[in-house]
Amino acid sequence: MSKKKGLYSVPYTIFGNEYIDPEAIRQMDEAVRLPVSLRGALMPDAHVGYGLPIGGVLATYNSIIPFGVGMDIGCRMCLSIYKTDPGIIEKSRSSLADLLMKNTRFGRAEFSDIEGHQILERSEFKEIPFLRTLKDTARQQLGTSGHGNHFVDMGILRFETMEEAEKLDLPVRHHTEESPLLYFSILSHSGSRNMGAQIARHYTRTAQEKRGMSGANKNLAWLDLDEEEGQEYWKAMNLAGDYSAVNHRLIHQRLSGALGETPIKIIENHHNFAWRDPREEHIIIHRKGATPAQKDSLAIIPGSMTAPAYIVSGLGNESSLCSAAHGAGRLLSRNQAKKKIRKNQLDDKLKQSGVTLLGGGADEAPMAYKDINRVM
């Protein structure tokens, strides 16, 4: 951990400095120089983004930076834990793969049997003219996952001690003195789909015009929350975050129904969003690719196709603005990964780890990511 303060900037803390691309640090340097910036932090999985780097956390005064939240507003994790025998993974691998293929949609694919949801009746769609143009697409993409690093995964949740499981109020099963506690689980990662991306683009352009910003830092343009446009974005962002949560619920409900099971525990969290500081309402905490980690709050930090995800409990660390990493973080860009990683290398890695991949390429290969254990 290191602390940094430059000329005309507020101080911020860098976690895992040695693992972070210098360009991501430069982006954070620029963000903390904004006149609205109050504090900052950079997580160990940080890498270059648009405006605020991925893994950047920024506190601002009564203002919101659309690209400080990111393109995929409300991108989040959701974990469902079941009482199902975890041995189902090996016993029924092929049928589980079929079940996943039938009950999830990626890329541009959509469901034809989802007619609507309460989220589509929200007043924001009527109150904000721009949101009206997004409603049809939002309806079409309900319950879908999108593309890139988004995934739905079936796997085994492992606890080393009974105490760890009991903290989550889980029934203690499949446990002996020699073996850990194991639970069948479903983990998903995705966001607000096209609606979130369109909101981000629209209000970033609005912010750039309002602030008169151009050049390298134009994607750090902000909206004042006392302005009509700032209030509009705040409402739109919260709608997109709720829409993302609904998508995850629909994904998990559909899969639970196909399995004939009901989850015994669900853990979920945003990691692309902005929140009001609960102690100082005028302070806005942007987390762009960063996990909320308030004291004792539960969240999920994923690894890669072959590396584990972690259930974490927040420490309430003020130097990180009560935030943590949101994943392993990219070691290689998508283009670099496609050039450097061959299909047979990916296939070998997956086989060694006992992973059945139903979709995805070299750009999401485990080798394209940092070591999650070091990040943690």
Between CA 55 and CA 20 the distance in angstroms is: 10
What count of other Cβ atoms lies within 10 Å of the Cβ of residue 33?
15
Q: What is the pLDDT of residue 38?
A: 97
Cα(31)–Cα(56) distance, rounded to whole angstroms?
Answer: 9
> How far from chain centre, in Å, is Cα 15?
19
Nearest to 57 by CA among 14, 97, 99: 14
- Asked whether the beta carbons of 92 and 356 are under 8 A apart, the reply is no
Q: What is the pLDDT, as a whole number, of residue 14?
A: 97
Residue that has been written with the tokens 């340097």 in this structure? 29
Which residue type does 315 have?
L
pLDDT value of position 153: 97
pLDDT of residue 113: 79
Ramachandran region, residue 290 (left: φ > 0; alpha: ψ -120 to 50; beta: rest): beta
- Predicted local distance difference test score (pLDDT) of residue 175: 57
Quote the pLDDT of residue 110. Answer: 82
What is the SS3 assignment for 353? helix
pLDDT at 178: 55
Residue ranges, the chain, pLDDT below 70: 1-8, 173-179
Instruction: State the DSSP code for 263.
Output: -
- Tell me how far apart the alpha carbons of residues 158 and 156 are, in angstroms, rounded to a whole number: 6
Pairing of β 37-47 and β 12-14? parallel
Q: What is the DSSP letter of 259?
A: H
CA angle 368, 374, 376 (to 5 degrees): 105
CA nearest 167: which of 311, 337, 287?
Answer: 311
Show the tokens assigned to 52: 């605020």
Q: Which two tokens stand for residue 184?
A: 């069948």
Backbone φ, ψ for residue 351 (5° rounding): -65, -45
Domain covering 2-375 assigned CATH 3.90.1860.10 in the classification: yes
The pLDDT value recorded for residue 328 is 96
pLDDT value of position 160: 85
What is the widest separation between alpha-carbon atoms in the chain? Answer: 65
21-51 tens-digit pLDDT? 999 999 999 999 999 999 999 999 999 999 9
Backbone angles phi, psi at 20, to 5 degrees: -110, 135
pLDDT of residue 214: 86
Whether 50 and 71 have beta carbons less than 8 Å apart is answered as yes
Place of tokens 């196709």: 305
Task: Give the tokens for residue 105.
Answer: 């949609």
